[in-house]
Amino acid sequence: MSSSAPLRPSVLFVCVHNAGRSQMAAAFLTHLAGDSIEVRSAGSAPAETVNPSVAEAMKEVGIDISAQRPKILTVEAVQASDVVITMGCGDACPVFPGKRYLDWQLDDPAGQGVEAVRPIRDAIETRVRTLLDEMNVPTTI
């Protein structure tokens, strides 16, 4: 039996543009779990920048994601993750055996104002907290 520390579980959030839902989910997971979990996010067709309404909605709850940049979904990111959570990217996400896949049906904040983003943000926070409970990862907040 090895005496090394256990590997941190890893979660990958995927949406089409990696500019809204997956960025919010990754930010909440990082904010709530700290260093106890490895967090990734990516998009099948990433945008140039994070959605400004999403960044504003997250700033309202004390999380600044304005410096984040959308990233392209890679096979390596999926292979390196224990849990893969998709948000409206359909079949774009490669499937590998031994991974846990979840699909979160959430409205797309693209083109929406901050008023429309707030309920999406709040739904994502609730789901992230539930995920942490299911994974037995303590929250820092």
Active centre residues (catalytic):
15, 89, 93
Q: What is the CA radius of gyration of the chain?
A: 15
Distance CA 75, CA 67 (A): 24
Strand ranges for the chain from DSSP E? 10-15, 38-43, 83-87, 100-103
CA quadruple 131, 31, 99, 5: dihedral sign: negative
CA-nearest of 100, 88, 92 to 20 is: 88
Reported as type and span, the H/E element at residue 60 is helix 52-60
